[in-house]
Structure 1
Amino acid sequence: MSSTDKVFAGSVPKLYDEYLVPLIFSVYADDLARRIAALSPSDLLEIASGTGAVTRAAAALLPSGVRYVATDLNEPMLEVAKQRQVDDPRITWRQADALALPFDASVFDLVCCQFGAMFFPDRSKGYAEAKRVLKPGGTYLLGVWDRIEDNVFADDATVTLGKMFPDNPPLFMARTPHGYHDKAVIRADLERAGFKDISIETVTATSRGPSAEYVAIAYCQGTPLRGEIEARDASRLEAATDAVAEAIRKRHGPGPVEAKIQALVITARP
């Protein structure tokens, strides 16, 4: 992982929430929220909550007595999440490192983490922390993106930028968001952390955007891919965004566009 892969700063958090969340995150947030609600937790911890897509979806389905702690390593992302969430006495927002959670052992009956584990420097350590704070009989729900070839817009952007910067292609999307999809590796990492009852489900959905330009802005300016582009040539961010938009338009047509997205949803218990 590059040192820039976890940098969600400047205008990125706002663009991430405005463009990328509706494009690819909302459908999986709704899916995870339904899974959370089905388990009827009383004390819930969310790790890597980002701008709060899962938090908002889950809160809408949970009863009034739930204690919900939503955390993220990145303060700017949490600030956007707080602004987006209507005041809710059930929810506490807290900056926290997934590898060193600031909570006592055995205090949550459910821990969830959607699309955050790919960013953990040590995934087994992060999973061990989730296990530590779970009550006996608790559940860990997490989601990770499947390989980039099964997430078409991300692949379109990566291929296009590779042509634009052939000597040093920006590979953030392939390297990190879509770089942790081997089910055997995921299972082994969880087992190393002490989880024994593990199921991994492939969930396919459709990503829809109002235009090719919208999709290009989402990826090129609403993710750490922006930092990679600017590191190569800060003056070419708009040109790179335009090139990705044109590639998507050529492949998927003018006007509203849609393409396949795919993720893995994991349920783990000690």
Structure 2
Amino acid sequence: MNQIATFVGTVPDFYERGLGPVMFEPYARRMAQRVADLNPGRVLETAAGTGMVTRAMLRLLPHDVRMTATDISQDMLDCAARQIGNHERVTFQQADAQALAAPDGAFDCAVCQFGVMFYPDKDLSYREIFRVLRPGGRYMFSFWDGLEFNPFARVRTDYMKSVLGEAMPPHMMAPFSYSFDAAKTSLLAAGFEEIEASVVCLETQIADPDQFARGHVEGSSAARVFEETGNDKANAVRELADRFRRELGDAPCRTTLQAIFISARKPDAAR
């Protein structure tokens, strides 16, 4: 399935409202702080989605920092722009992270939250980031740890498999199948050094399991598959919400989140 064709129409809004508060906003704040600690002047964000990291960086970075937020889906960027409004510090740009339009050495820092796992050619994406960073620049990115460390994802995946069977898009497993070893190998091959990794484990409350379930059904690649296979999305939302309550507790419903954060540096004299 074409990833661009997936995140269109109403999908970004369901993604923002349903998944954002639980899965992405807690990590966006931590990613933005790590970027702010670098004191960059020019920041590139890839796979910006609906702009959760972008908004967090706007709150934390000095007013003279300029950001370019990119995503392969224009509809996702449009959603991000609606959340942020007109802002002179941010330029939104549709772009493929594997073929960036920016000139060599254009940025002090590049950031990507939960996007690298979806790139068809990850090696190429790392080389592109290396190219557009200035010497000494840093790449900060994150990806999800395995299903065994993310109970919400295990519940979601088990449910989607039971309903969609072989029709479940393969890339629905992609977020939870990447590894530090794979990332390290690619980063070294691209020329990066000082590669550091940390495990960031959080516990969060799912304030509205129905909204969260709707985000997984209507705000992801599953939405199009449900339509194509004739499955009832409203019924799927009810069933998935029930599973979240049954397996993650009710009043409150909680889940552990676990992600890997990576920092890599472009050498001062690029090899």
Q: Deviations over 1:65-107 (max 9, x none)?
A: 1111111110000000001004321111111110110011011
State the match for 2:130 in structure 1: 131
2:75 corresponding residue in structure 1: 76
Aligned to 2:255: 259
Aligned partner of 1:227 in structure 2 is 224
- Give the deviation of 1:37 after TM superposition: 0.6
1:213 to 184, 187, 210: 210
- Cα 1:171–1:208, aligned 2, differ >3 Å: closer, same or farther? farther
Q: Residue in 2 aligned with 1:248?
A: 244
Q: In 2, distance between residues paired with 1:173 and 1:204?
A: 23
Q: Aligned partners of 2:205 and 2:220: how far apart in 1?
A: 18
Give, as a single letter, the amino acid of the residue that structure 1 aligns with 2:168: P
8 Å CA contact 1:6–1:224 kept in 2: the answer is no
- Counterpart in the other structure of 1:199: 196
Residue of structure 2 in register with 1:185 after alignment = 182
Counterpart of 2:118 in structure 1 is 119
Q: Give the CA deviation at 1:15.
A: 0.6
Q: Secondary structure at the match of 2:30?
A: helix
**Matching residue of 2:49:** 50
Cα distance change, pair 262–159 in 1 and its aligned pair in 2 (3 A): same
The equivalent of 1:170 in structure 2 is 168
TM-score normalised to the size of structure 2? 0.92
State how many pairs are aligned.
266
Pairwise CA distance, 1:19:
1.3
- Residues 18 and 94 (structure 1), Cα distance of their counterparts in 2 relative to 1, 3 Å cut: same
Question: Does 2:87 align with 1:91?
Answer: no
Q: Which residue of 2 aligns with 1:145?
A: 144
How far, CA to CA, are the matches of 2:5 and 2:184 in structure 1? 24
- In structure 2, distance between residues paired with 1:154 and 1:6: 23
| SS of corresponding position for 1:268 | strand
Structure 2 runs not aligned, ≥5 long: 267-271
Show structure 1 runs of 5+ residues with no match: none
**What code does the residue aligned with 2:156 have?**
A
Q: Is the 2:193–2:265 contact (alpha carbons within 8 Å) kept by the matching residues of 1?
A: yes
Q: Which AA in structure 2 matches 1:38?
A: D
Q: Which shows bigger deviation, 169-178 or 69-78?
A: 169-178
Q: Deviations over 1:27-71 (max 9, x none)?
A: 110000000110000111111110000000011111121111111
Report deviation, 1:174. 5.1
Look up the match of 2:269.
none
For the residues of structure 1 that align with 2:83 and 2:160, how far apart are their CA atoms? 32
**d(CA) in 2 for partners of 1:152, 1:45:** 31
Residue 99 of structure 1 aligns to a residue whose secondary structure is coil
User: Secondary structure of 2:55's match?
Assistant: helix
Using the alignment, how far apart are the partners of 2:181 and 2:4 within structure 1? 24
CA shift, 1:173, in A, is 6.5
1:237 aligns with 2:236: no
The residue identity in structure 1 corresponding to 2:209 is: A
